[in-house]
Structure formats: C-alpha cells, structure tokens
A and B are shown apart, each in its own frame.
Chain A
Amino acid sequence: MLAVENTKCECGHQNAVGTVLCESCGKPLDAALQQSSEPLEMRYDGVARRSQKSNPAIIDRIWNFFSSVKIAIYLIVVTFVTAMLGTIYPQESSFINSFDATTYYEENYGTPGKIYYELGLSHTYESWWFIGLLVMIGTSLVICSLDRVLPLYRALQKQQIRKHHQFILRQKTVYRSEIAGDPKEWVEKFGAQLKRKGYKLHFEEGTGTALLAEKNRFSRWGPYINHIGLILFLLAVLARSIPGWQMDSYVSVPDGDTVPIAGTNYYVKSEKFNVEFYTDDELPEELKGTARAKKYETQAVLYKCVANCDDPLKEPELEEVMDHNIIVNDPLVYKGLKLYQFDFNLTPRLNAVSPILEDKRTGEIYGPFYLPMKNPELKHQLGPFTLEIRANYMEFALDSEGKPTTLSREPNAPAFIFSVKGPGLAEEGEPYIYFPMQKDKVKFAQDTINRELAGKIEIRVDGMENVDFSEATTHLNVRMDKALPYLWVGAVFSMVGLILGSYWQHRRIWLRVDGTELALGAHTNKNWFGMRSDVAGALKKIGVEIDPKTLDNGGNNA
C-alpha cells in the first residue's frame, strides 16, 4: 500500500475514502476546498460512494464502471440513438407476410436500405447488442442506485446536529446575526415556528443551542423508487424472451375450419365471418362506389387440446373453452391469449359437395353421396353403381408432359377421377373425371374427356343446398404478453418515485448559537425560493424582519 489518503476529520470522525464533507460535522475534508468560500456541493451530503476504495480489485473495477453516472449517461445516449436509427425504415418484425429481408431493403430504399440491412438495423430491437445495452443500463441502474442510496440513507439516519461553521455558512441559504437574550430560548422559539411549517426538530442534547430542522426527507427516496420501477420494467422486457411469454403471430381461418394456433395448445374455429360494408348513402362523395368495411366480425370458438395433441396418428381431442364474436378492438381474450380481428379475404373456398349419379340411359338417379375436397371416402356404392376415387387434384392442370397434376394444395379447381363399375360398363371399371365446379367442367371439357361414358352416366350436383363452401377467410392476430402486468407494476413504481421526487423537496435548516452569534444555513434540492421564504417567515414570526433575498448566499439557485 502506498499513500493512504488522510480521511480523519479534525472533529475526530474517521471518514471513508472519497468523502467530501465530514460525515459528522460537515467540514470540507479537502484542503483546497477548505480555503475556498464558494457554496458547498451538497450532493449525497458529501458522503463517499459505497464502492470508492483506495485499491480496487477487478470486481471493484467492474463495479466502479457501472457505478459511474457518466457511464450511465453515455449508455442511455447510445441506446436512444440506436433506438432512433431503428425507426428509419420498417423493422423486419413488422412484416406479416413472409418477405425476403436480404433484398427488400435494397429494392425499396436503394443503397441506404442495403447499408441499413447490412448493419443489422433492420432488426435493431432484437439484436444482441441492443439487448446488451439494455442489460448494461439495467446493471448501471442497480449499481448506481445501491452505491448511493445506502450511504445516503446512513448519512441522513444519523445526522450530527451541531455542524462546523464552514458547513453552515457555506450553504446556499445563509443567515448570520447577533442575538440578544438566552440562546436556548431563542432556538426554541425559532424552532416552534419551523415546527408549524411542518419541520421535524432535533435540538442538540444538553445545550439546546444547536438545531437541525428537517422536512420531507422521504422525497430523497423518490429517485430510487423510480429506479426500482425502471429495473422491474427492464426485467419484464427481458422476460419476454422466455419461451411462451410473448407471441405476436397471425392465423388464417376459413369459415367452418378449426385451425391450430402455432406455439400454443389452442385451436381456433371460425363459425362464420361477417362483413358489412357502408352503403353509398353513408359514404362521402369521393368514396361512393368503393367497398368500405363498416364492421367485420369473426364468430370464433377457442378450443384447448386435451389429448392426442402430439400423436400424429390420432386426431387431437379438443375441448371448447370459450366463444366470442371478435370485432375490431374487441378481441377474444382467454388466459392471456388474445385473438384480434386483423384482416379478411372474401374468396370463397369449396369444402364439399353432395353430388348424385344419373344413369342417362334409364333416367334413374342415385345418391347423393358426400364428397369433401380433402380426404374423401374412397369408395361409394350408389344403387347398382360402384364409385372408386382413383385420384384427386386440388387445382387441376396438365403438366409439361401432358399428365394431370395440381397447381396448389387449395381446392381452387378441384377434380376427381373415379373408376365407375355398374350395369353396361366394363368389368374392371371405366374412368370418369368429375369437376365439382361448373367453370372447370367447361374449361377442361369434362364431357369430352369422359368420351362415351359421358353419354351413359353423369355425376352432378343438384342445387346449392348440396354445396358446402366457406364464404370467407378471417385473418386473426394472435397475441400473448405475460410480461405486461410486470411492465405495469414497474411503470407504477416509476411514476410514484417520480412524483415523490418532484413534488416534494427535502429541506433542512442547521443553526448554532455560540454565545450571541447565530449561524444558520439551509439546504434543499430545489425550490430555493421556498426554502428562503420558510427561513424568513419563521424569523419574521419571532420578530426578525428580513427580505428573503438577502438570505441568498450565491450558487445559482432558483
């Protein structure tokens, strides 16, 4: 150990390294500071920060780094700047439909967009370095607060009543005069006036000629309560990365379908999607003739999977947990899971038909039989006829080799190839192609393909009541945010702390009478005008008339 700073005050109190004003009598410890006559810096009552040490080890160095308010401010500024950069172009996470980020930014915003993407700013808020900054701010918040609040608490808990003259007379509000009469009585009288203003009084024991009057000390804890709130807030934000805590995804549900909600154990069914449009009478001139949605609503049912959820061989067993008509701003809410109306699509989708088979030679009609577009029954017995489905196509087309194929997996232009057996038909069955939709029947010339069989039998749907289709598809936004209540708690703490610190001020008045000589100093953290008028007001009540302005000892106080 080399030179150890002398931290012992003349009053005999041993102070910690880094102490500015003696913890006991308040005398400045630094020689240069003792010579000056400037008002004292009263921050944290001049006590040392907790972590200040004469020879720091590695842990202390890390600790001191985060304990620095300067570092904290740099961290906050850097975070703000990067957060701002993140708002220049849309973030990748704001795109619902799959898009290719590698080309999107360059195509839409040119070279700046490319640079933006290359720098990783297109996913600023999820990037490791941004999270890292938040973590560092959080660390800094905890350590800065802890390092200051504990010494401050101790300093305010055991305050010396009789302060050094240098301490009292170098406050920013000072009063000095000669008093007549018994000093003890004077102090008591003055104290009684302060008490009426809400001050708590501490007289020096024995002599009664020194006084500490103090009010609203609790406001000093405001910033720390605020910090606790911010830490809770940050922890809640970080908790969102815990699997299952937050989701924001989309699910499309055609009318009548039950669709699993990815990442959860829930399924959602849309009984029916309804949309109402404004009539022309309700629209302003420039919008007449356009389709403007007035209301859209999904009659949704939420199911929970209770068995066979992950067994690929079995159908999952669902249990209804809730039903709700979802409209804009009125989501289905179940145990933190929220389903919002997001969008819709009015393209109908064919689900199933119930066609009949007509024997054209006799005019006899057989059926109807149920034919869903997906996973139909493969064999149907209709009177003397046997229908076997040989192939099905969702969107029928011919491939480059002229073979039938499907262009998609959605039933946009469905087709079935049956093998038909029955009276007057070949023993091994004759192929018959069937297009449930009239437009496809014409487009692909069903009768021509089926050749002479088309003259013998016909499979067709009689009437719309034999057609099952979804009129619309609803798009729902699935949201879950378990961190939200904690965010609220954090925000409330933060606000309470802010109010405590802003609307009250910690005011203290020290005075000592030595013989006939009165020295009075007062300190607050803001509203010095109020501080001075408190002192002047109390003095006036005991017959000392002074202009509050004369109490100002300099130091740029409002």
Chain B
Amino acid sequence: MGKSRKTIQIVILFAVLLLGGYAIWAALFGGDDAGRPEAGGEPPSFTLADTAGGVQSLSDYEGQPVVINFWGSFCEPCVKEMPEFERQYEKWKDRGLAILAINLSEDTLTVNNFVSRFDLSYPILRDVDRKIERQYGLRQYPTTFFVKPDGTIMEVVVGGMLESDINERVERLLEL
C-alpha cells in the first residue's frame, strides 16, 4: 500500500507540475497576442505577396539579420525613410542584410507608384486587411523591427529614423 501511495503522490505532483507549469508559462510568455513583440521576443511569422509577384515568408530569412519595416504612403516619416533604407540595403546586402518593408494594406496602384517613384530594390510586401499589422500590435507608423540572425528581436523603433540611426543599428545587427 505504501508503494502505491508513493506512486499516486508522484503522479499527482507531476500532473500539477505539468498543468500548472503550462498555465504559468502561458501567462508569462504566451497569450500576449494583442501586444507588440518586444526586444528579446520573436517576431510573429508571416507569408505575404511581394510587388514582384512572388511570395515571401519571414522564415525564408532564417539565420540572416532582418529589418522589418511597416510603412504606408500616407505616413510622411515612413516615406522619408524609404530612400534611406534603399541606401542602407545597397550598402549592407552583400553582408546578408535583408530588409522587408511591409505596406500597411494599401491598394496596388498606390504601392506600385510608390515603389517605382523611389526605385526601391528591397522586397516590398503587401499586407491585406491589416492582418500582419495586427499581429505585430502596431499603434504608430512607421515601426521598425531589427531582428538578429538568431531570430530574436534586437530592437523595436517606433517613429522615423535618420539614416545614421539605421546605419548604427544595422552595424549592431551585423556585429561589426
């Protein structure tokens, strides 16, 4: 009888550890869908169409430093940043830097006009119905996520940046 009692004790404590552990873990790290992912966290995955007719996923860039920038033609600081990102992309792309500029669910003509006006060569992705934007919990534009090669977020910048700000962060991403 003593032996079965011990087994029951272990089984129950183990079940508690499992269930309770899951609940506490979920409270600590999960269930935070509404909030914006922060530095140290992982950016939500996405698969979106680009302006060249292809499909791009965040997972395509595993192991690479990635800059995820949310932009819209209606947001003046976003517009100002785009040529800066283009120059940074040209400067660092040989070192493996990827820039993914996610448009904030605007229509095709608007996006295409914009891209050709600035002659952008990095991928421009098309969010639809604000899906990805919501997953990233955006409240202000532009918002830029600097993602390290290990897939964790190094920094989240809300608001426009000067080219030197971008350059400094990219250098940190590339560990120069």
Contacts and interface: CB of A to CB of B under 8 A. Distances in A.
A142 interface: yes
Interface string B103-121: 0111111100100000000
A241 B129 contact: no
Interface string B29-54: 01101000000000000011100010
B26 A241 contact: yes
10 contacts: A60-B9, A128-B28, A241-B26, A260-B131, A311-B55, A389-B109, A394-B74, A405-B73, A406-B74, A409-B105
A127 B28 CA distance: 7
The 8 closest A-B pairs by CB, nearest first: A135-B20, A312-B49, A241-B26, A131-B27, A128-B27, A374-B107, A238-B23, A406-B74
In which size bucket is the chain A interface?
35 or more
A126 B27 contact: yes
B20 A138 contact: yes
* Residue picked from A60, A62, A378, A392, most chain B C-beta under 10 Å: A392
A407 B74 contact: yes
Interface in A393-449: 393-395, 399-400, 405-409
Given A241-B31, A313-B55, A375 B109 contact: yes
B49 A405 contact: no
* Residue picked from B49, B110, B134, most chain A C-beta under 10 Å: B110
Interface residues of B, number: 45
A310 interface: yes
Contacts of A399: 76, 79
Contacts of A100: 139
Interface of A: 50-51, 59-60, 62-63, 98, 100, 126-128, 130-132, 134-136, 138-139, 142-143, 146, 235, 238, 241, 243, 259-260, 262-263, 310-313, 374-376, 378, 389-395, 399-400, 405-409
Contacts of B23: 131, 134-135, 238, 241
B127 to A, nearest CB: 9
B162 interface: no
Interface in B108-156: 108-110, 113, 126, 128-129, 131, 134-135, 137, 139
B129 A259 contact: yes
A351 B9 CA distance: 65
Q: Which applies to chain B's interface (DSSP): helix, strand, loop or mixed?
A: helix
Contacts of B73: 405-406
Interface stretch (B10-18, B62-70, B90-98): B10-18
B108 A98 contact: no
Given A98-B137, A131-B23, A134-B23, 6 more contacts: A63-B13, A128-B28, A131-B24, A132-B20, A376-B109, A405-B76
Given A128-B24, A131-B24, A259-B129, A409 B9 contact: no
B129 A409 contact: no
Contacts of A241: 22-23, 26-27, 30-31
A235 B23 CA distance: 10
A78 B55 CA distance: 52
Contacts of B108: 375
B27 A395 contact: no
A397 to B, nearest CB: 9
* Residue picked from B6, B27, B55, B128, most chain A C-beta under 10 Å: B27
